[in-house]
Structure 1
Amino acid sequence: MKQLILAEKPSVARDLSKTLGATQKHKNYFEGDKVVVTWALGHLLGLQMPEDLNKKWGKWQMETLPMLPKKIGIKPLPKTQGQLKTISSLAKRKDIKEAVIATDAGREGELVARWILQYIRFNKPVKRLWISSQTNKAVKEGFASLKPVKEYDNLYYSALARAKADWLVGLNVTRALTVKYDDNLSAGRVQTPTLAQVDQQAQKINRFKPQQYYTISLDVAGQKADRQQKDKYQLKDLPAAQEIVKELETHSGKVVDISQKDKSQQAPLPYDLTELQREANQIYGYSAKKTLSLVQSLYEIHKIVSYPRTDSKYLSTDLKSTMKERLQAISNLVPEAKHYLANGSHVVLQKAFNDKKVTDHHALIPTEQKPRYEKLSQDEHRIYSMIVKRFAGLFAQPYQIKQEKITVQTGQDIFVFTQEKVVEAGWKTDKVQESKQRDWQIGEKITPKFKVSAKQTTPPAPLNEGSLLAKMEKYGLGTPATRAEIIEKLVKTELMERTGKSLQVTPKGKQLLHLVNPALITPELTAKWEKQLEQIAHGKYNSQNFISEIEKETGQLVAEIKNSQQKYQDHSLTSKKCPKCGSLLKEKNTRNGKILVCTAPDCDYHRRAEAKVTNHRCPQCHRKMLLIEGKNGTYFRCKYDGTTEKPTGKNKKMTKHEEKRLLKKVNQDDEPVESPLAAALKKAMQEK
């Protein structure tokens, strides 16, 4: 008899099959003497759409809102039905005695597997593999201690409640906004308050009015200290500052106090995913999505880091016995590691071990597997180095300094100088910069040497992905596993855009925030929902009560939109007219650049808004030519000397069929597969 093992991705299934001896390779699974290993492709199923539940809900209209079905079933996603059939046929084999869920050890991974087993009506025993790294050792240990699936029922209930809540809020509010304002307006319980955080920061910047102020500093042998005052911005007048200096110069300064203090700073805890994404954005400018992709690769493919989608910075006590092996694995990357190994691999930062603060997974740390650096890309190496250096800090001594404060009095005014001396560099070996040292003495006379400096208050910085992630974490918006996806969705739906390293709300996004309900903009409601989902996962809150509350909130949100008197202006509309029907053209962003589409529901006209740079070379200057779509058809034009050419193959005239095929290729939108909600939105807008 055999186990049917369900992994989340083909790459993970392939690695599991090697470890478990499943050497027979088939199209959609691997097989061995004791196991059959197959895979999902992420989600193979999703919740049914409104039109699947009620014929009246097929058409987008305000009269049918809110949609509050008593039961929402699941249905196969169209492009993955083949794999679902494979899993179903394998499950029905007489030699399969039980299933093992080996999808990602988290909320969404649990939902992926449970929906599959539910849909194929699997009625044999089910067990759960729960591991935090993909090394051979971790996999073997995990299979040696498989747990009954019932232990993870609450995690499944939490995932299901999250999916239903997003269905209820997302579909109802999005339909209400789209129907009322006749444009594709997407809103959701997490994405909308996230968008609001970016807008609120922009408003702070817009309201900011710079103010000039003056500071007075005392210079002693190259060391400087500012005059002590309650409000550092209080000197707004240059003549007033100069008068104070004149008064100070009539007195000699004197050292009236010297105090010393020993300060110690322990190394930071290991990374959780959100902090890693924030720092990678700050240091390398990586998006949250890119960092997640890189660390997922280090986990799945290279197997050199632990499970990445974690919200914990702590380690469970059972990991203490693995510290030596992990240090050995990173010894070539961290010079201090050999010293730590010689010291018995002793962890100095003992507070990092705390079972009570470890959630589903412990902090992000290197595994016991030695990396093959030649197989890592530069980006992967950077992320791995960040994780390794943070981990190595666990074994380092605290950073210790001796801080000296010197108080100089001149007349009635005080100037405080500070100097620091490093006693123990500890974990800050590559960051230490000592301040300039001077031998001060109590009673020492100081020669007055003052300077007035003009300064200006600075506006708050716009949010970037790192600072937005910090706000999302602070207000409980999303989870480490979903935050990158939420940011990308806001950009894709043209509610938010990247401008350099910063994020900015688009005109469409600004309008959405005015149109949507205030309750959905503030993070408090969404944070409360996320907290309740966590409580469901730990068996401390009933999922039915949660859904009942979501249904009530959904009804209120839809009612507010129905009764709203707000006006909406579609900023994507242009003054250009469709050559086929005369309707206005609308600008749309795609991966291949901007395109213009006709706004008439029954017209399919669309073309590029911008000329496309091609690899076709100009016969005169040999530079790349532009592909132009215009009244005279499709042709190449050189933007440097104006040369034009008709697209032809082997100097033959292009046929109508070839021209149509070329146009289709030029206008093709390479966006990823649409979500069911996005597809429904598009269909609804075409029908309007």
Structure 2
Amino acid sequence: MSKSLYIAEKPSVATEFAKALKISGRKQDGYIESEEAVVTWCVGHLVTMSYPDAYDPALKKWSMTSLPFLPNEYKYEIIPNVKKQFNIVKGLLNHKDVDKIYVCTDSGREGEYIYRLVEQEANVSHSKERRRVWIDSQTEEEILRGIREAKPLSAYDNLSDAAYLRAQEDYLMGINFSRALTLKYGNEVQNFLNAKKWSAISVGRVMTCVLGMVVRREREVRNFIKTPFYRVMATISEQNHEFDAEFKAVEGSKYFNTPLLYKDNGFKERTSAVHMIKEISDPIPELMDDGAWISQKSTEDQEQLWAEVIQVEKKKEKKNPPLLYNLAELQNECAKMFKISPDETLKITQELYEKKMVTYPRTDARVLSTAVAKEIHKNIEGLKGLNQVREYASEIMDSGSYKGIAKTRYVNDSQITDHYAIIPTGQGLNNLRSLNHTTIRVYEIIVRRFLSIFFPAAEYRKVAITLKIKSEYFFASLRMLEKDGYLKIIGKGNSKNNEADGDKTSAENKNGSDKEDQDGNEDSDETTDQSLLAIFMSLKKGMKLQTNALNIKEGETSPPKRYNSGSLILAMENAGQLIEDEELRTQIKGSGIGTSATRAEILNKLVKIDYLDLNKKTQIISPKILGELIFEVVESSIKSLLNPELTASWEKGLDYVSNGKITKEEYTKKLEGFVARRVVGVKNLNNQAVLQRNFKEIASNYKR
């Protein structure tokens, strides 16, 4: 009797497939079987690439003469501790009664690789029909849809090629570069640290690049020199209210484009600020003990210091709900809000996925597909069973706001590769009682972000005024929230982490920022004082307002921020750029370092091998001395490994293979040429003495 075989990536997923298929047969050792079907599983990877000594026992000994190591054909082997399960799966794949195989491993490059290796090592006959199940959640209806719409496995051959190449790339770079650098510089590093235990220099395509990002940021912080600056503020009085206006050297100002300025709203020297105040004050102001300059009261011979209204700009601003979460965005948010690591966030989201509560977590997309948008009311309807958001889900369903979602920026098929954004399924709410507090909090922010896209934009009233005191210009603005829109569900505090209309990119973090809100955060002028807003609204061009005081406000530049675990994941996603603005992130999507499935694991490894330090309380990441020494070694030998753009280009190349734009042969030729040239370059170097001097300088920054 012929049977269909369903092979999942892990036992828990296999159980869900068995439930969906109504397979009520006996659970055997490593599989579940009924009269019509068999469900089995891997336990993650069952097969791995063999070490060089499997090709030649002589390669077990590390030697420069054996490098570069570029095998013509790669060897693989069964992972010893899962050999029993491999043999069970192998037997089922080749069983005479099995005529159709449904591949149900995770829907992505890594899941594809896990199955293809098993099929390869099990020598499965290609005469059997093989179909690929591709799903976005583990709900029963999604599993059945995936089975019903399963494509021939051959439709995913390009993805399989990319998966093999990714593994081969990591293998070749890891084996060749780690051996070459260890043989060349390992003793120097070990002797410098007085290390009793010998260890290899660990190098990897993605891992070393991430190490470089952290070390470079640490050096920027370390070498940063604070710069003081002095801002001039005018205290303006109108209708028994006071507010501050800030001097800016715009066109028409005596100080416009002069070297006296730090940016356009501060002076490099306090004396310059004092001089400006004296110039525009009539009468000469009195210097108070607190540093403020108070305008003297007018007399018959002296005029009060007035600020003339030059311009009043009134406008309404809208802030749209942020895009949905992908894994990197969620990891960044959880690091900031809950102080948990990216790895912990992934584990939590994976648990929610396996409990059918959210969709597939390892995704780079932040939008929905057109197909999902058509059925999205089911997800919303299900969330009416969640007390915290019942009223919001009901409001969406009653208003029908979900009906037009397909025409918004939250639905875009072209921005989806394997999976759409992480959203709640609306199912599995009975599992809430079994979740810990942190997991519930993560689930809730996913739910709230999802529901927020069905609410209107938040609306603000903003008034900006330009004042002129003598020959100089001062500026003030107020911003008040008029309509909550989506903020009533996502929360105003949470929205600050996800500005869609901000202008903060990596430049601010890289070059340092200014204390005292030098650049003017858009929330710094936000007010709840309706009477003050009414005064601003009533101002007209030509009106004169009383100037009560002129102040010098001192500030200083602050060093760049160190990465935390979440911001580092975002920087990896965006080719080494920590870009806070989500619109800019969308523009360069697809140029990342690593993948959503591997970034947390890479960070974990760097911490485990003592290259990086992760503060568990703050999630701040900094290099350890060993990590910075390794950075110095790589920078002086294979510097290109530290280049985020180059590392991202390799990932882009794998995407091209997946999409059929280049062949695996073309990619392999480029890869092997890169590895061979860099290994030869290391062999020809003679820079150990220079490195020793650099090591001493590095060590001075660490306690020994």
For Structure 1 versus Structure 2, the TM-score category normalised by the shorter chain is 0.7 to 0.9
Q: Distance in 1 between matches of 2:244 and 2:372?
A: 48
Task: Specify whether residues 491 and 114 from structure 1 end up closer, same or farther in structure 2 by C-alpha distance, changes over 3 A only.
Answer: same
Contact 2:47 2:78 in 1 (8 A): yes
What does residue 392 of structure 1 align with? 451
What is the CA-CA distance between 1:321 and the residue it aligns to? 2.5
> 1:225 aligned to 2:245?
yes
Please point out which of 203, 228, 244 is paired with 2:276: 244
Residue ranges of structure 2 left out of the alignment (5+ in a row): 188-198, 250-255, 257-262, 283-304, 494-525, 576-591, 696-704
Instruction: Tell me which amino acid in the other structure corresponds to 2:611.
Output: L
Please point out which of 165, 168, 180 is paired with 1:176: 180
Please point out which of 399, 423, 439 is paired with 1:343: 399
Q: Distance in 1 between matches of 2:693 and 2:114?
A: 38
Superimposed CA distance per residue, residues 486-534 of structure 1 (whole angstroms, 9 cap, x where no aligned partner): 1111111111111443111121111212212111111222111100101
> 1:113 aligned to 2:122?
no
Task: Specify whether residues 347 and 245 from structure 1 end up closer, same or farther in structure 2 by C-alpha distance, changes over 3 A only.
Answer: farther
Task: Specify whether residues 571 and 444 from structure 1 end up closer, same or farther in structure 2 by C-alpha distance, changes over 3 A only.
Answer: closer
Name the stretch that deviates more: 248-257 or 76-85: 248-257
What does residue 15 of structure 1 align with? 16
Between Structure 1 and Structure 2, the one with more helix by share is: 2
What is the CA-CA distance between 1:233 and the residue it aligns to? 6.7
What does residue 452 of structure 1 align with? 552
Q: Distance in 2 between matches of 1:370 and 1:84?
A: 31
Contact 2:229 2:268 in 1 (8 A): yes
Q: Note the 1:185-224 alignment, pairs <5 A.
A: 185-220=201-236, 221-224=241-244
> 1:555 aligned to 2:681?
no
Q: Note the 1:326-475 alignment, pairs <5 A.
A: 326-331=379-384, 332=386, 333-334=388-389, 335-346=391-402, 350-372=408-430, 373-429=432-488, 430-431=491-492, 434-436=527-529, 437-440=533-536, 441-442=539-540, 443-448=542-547, 449-475=549-575
Task: Specify whether residues 348 and 378 from structure 1 end up closer, same or farther in structure 2 by C-alpha distance, changes over 3 A only.
Answer: farther
Q: Which has the higher contact order (CA 8 A, sep 6+)?
A: 2
Please point out which of 129, 140, 149 is paired with 1:136: 140
Superimposed CA distance per residue, residues 632-654 of structure 1 (whole angstroms, 9 cap, x where no aligned partner): xxxxxxxxxxxxxxxxxxxxxxx
What does residue 260 of structure 1 align with? 314
Contact 1:323 1:345 in 2 (8 A): no
What is the CA-CA distance between 1:398 and the residue it aligns to? 1.0
What is the CA-CA distance between 1:222 and the residue it aligns to? 3.6
> 1:296 aligned to 2:350?
yes
What is the CA-CA distance between 1:370 and the residue it aligns to? 4.7
Q: Distance in 1 between matches of 2:676 and 2:560?
A: 37
Contact 1:48 1:74 in 2 (8 A): yes
What does residue 544 of structure 1 align with? 665
What does residue 519 of structure 2 align with? none
Identity of aligned residues (%): 32
Instruction: Tell me which amino acid in the other structure corresponds to 1:343.
Output: S
Superimposed CA distance per residue, residues 612-632 of structure 1 (whole angstroms, 9 cap, x where no aligned partner): xxxxxxxxxxxxxxxxxxxxx
Task: Specify whether residues 253 and 348 from structure 1 end up closer, same or farther in structure 2 by C-alpha distance, changes over 3 A only.
Answer: farther
Instruction: Tell me which amino acid in the other structure corresponds to 2:15.
Output: R
Q: Distance in 2 between matches of 1:505 and 1:72?
A: 35
What is the CA-CA distance between 1:232 and the residue it aligns to? 4.3
What is the CA-CA distance between 1:347 and the residue it aligns to? 5.1
Task: Specify whether residues 201 and 233 from structure 1 end up closer, same or farther in structure 2 by C-alpha distance, changes over 3 A only.
Answer: farther
Contact 1:214 1:452 in 2 (8 A): yes
What does residue 564 of structure 1 align with? 685
Q: Distance in 1 between matches of 2:314 and 2:404?
A: 26
Contact 2:247 2:265 in 1 (8 A): no
Contact 1:322 1:368 in 2 (8 A): no
Name the stretch that deviates more: 418-427 or 310-319: 418-427
Please point out which of 603, 610, 619 is paired with 1:501: 619
> 1:59 aligned to 2:45?
no
What does residue 319 of structure 1 align with? 372
> 1:164 aligned to 2:168?
yes
Contact 1:219 1:225 in 2 (8 A): yes
Q: Distance in 1 between matches of 2:225 and 2:311?
A: 39
What is the CA-CA distance between 1:345 and the residue it aligns to? 4.4
SS at match of 1:361: coil
Q: Distance in 2 between matches of 1:218 and 1:415?
A: 8
SS at match of 2:367: coil
Please point out which of 16, 32, 35 is paired with 1:33: 35
What is the CA-CA distance between 1:483 and the residue it aligns to? 0.5
Q: Distance in 2 between matches of 1:405 and 1:5?
A: 64
Task: Specify whether residues 347 and 232 from structure 1 end up closer, same or farther in structure 2 by C-alpha distance, changes over 3 A only.
Answer: farther
Q: Distance in 2 between matches of 1:345 and 1:367?
A: 18
What does residue 153 of structure 2 align with? 149
SS at match of 2:429: coil
Task: Specify whether residues 427 and 496 from structure 1 end up closer, same or farther in structure 2 by C-alpha distance, changes over 3 A only.
Answer: same
Instruction: Tell me which amino acid in the other structure corresponds to 1:535.
Output: Y
Instruction: Tell me which amino acid in the other structure corresponds to 2:148.
Output: A
What does residue 496 of structure 2 align with? none
Instruction: Tell me which amino acid in the other structure corresponds to 1:143.
Output: I
What is the CA-CA distance between 1:570 and the residue it aligns to? 14
> 1:305 aligned to 2:380?
no
SS at match of 2:328: helix
Superimposed CA distance per residue, residues 68-125 of structure 1 (whole angstroms, 9 cap, x where no aligned partner): 1101021101111000111112223222112111000000000000110111111122
Q: Note the 1:513-592 alignment, pairs <5 A.
A: 513-516=631-634, 517-567=638-688
What does residue 631 of structure 1 align with? none
Superimposed CA distance per residue, residues 194-222 of structure 1 (whole angstroms, 9 cap, x where no aligned partner): 11001111111122101211111122334
Contact 1:329 1:367 in 2 (8 A): yes
Q: Distance in 2 between matches of 1:338 and 1:566?
A: 69
What does residue 628 of structure 2 align with? 510
Contact 2:215 2:622 in 1 (8 A): yes
Q: Distance in 2 between matches of 1:550 and 1:204?
A: 32
TM-score between both structures, scaled by the size of structure 2: 0.78
Q: Distance in 2 between matches of 1:48 and 1:307?
A: 31
Task: Specify whether residues 84 and 570 from structure 1 end up closer, same or farther in structure 2 by C-alpha distance, changes over 3 A only.
Answer: farther
Name the stretch that deviates more: 104-113 or 336-345: 336-345
What is the CA-CA distance between 1:322 and the residue it aligns to? 1.8
Q: Note the 1:642-657 alignment, pairs <5 A.
A: none
User: Once superposed, which parts of structure 1, at least 4 consecutive aligned residues long, lie more than 6 Å away?
Assistant: 568-572
After superposition, the CA RMSD in angstroms is 1.9
Q: Distance in 1 between matches of 2:681 and 2:629?
A: 16
Q: Distance in 1 between matches of 2:623 and 2:129?
A: 50
Task: Specify whether residues 519 and 163 from structure 1 end up closer, same or farther in structure 2 by C-alpha distance, changes over 3 A only.
Answer: same
Please point out which of 456, 479, 485 is paired with 2:601: 485
Instruction: Tell me which amino acid in the other structure corresponds to 1:285.
Output: K
TM-score between both structures, scaled by the size of structure 1: 0.80
Q: Distance in 1 between matches of 2:245 and 2:43?
A: 62
SS at match of 1:127: strand
Name the stretch that deviates more: 531-540 or 250-259: 250-259
Contact 2:356 2:428 in 1 (8 A): no
When the two structures are aligned, how many residues end up with a matched partner? 571
SS at match of 1:278: helix
Instruction: Tell me which amino acid in the other structure corresponds to 1:384.
Output: Y
Task: Specify whether residues 101 and 157 from structure 1 end up closer, same or farther in structure 2 by C-alpha distance, changes over 3 A only.
Answer: same
Q: Note the 1:627-642 alignment, pairs <5 A.
A: none
Superimposed CA distance per residue, residues 230-252 of structure 1 (whole angstroms, 9 cap, x where no aligned partner): 62475132233223223333241
Contact 2:209 2:641 in 1 (8 A): yes
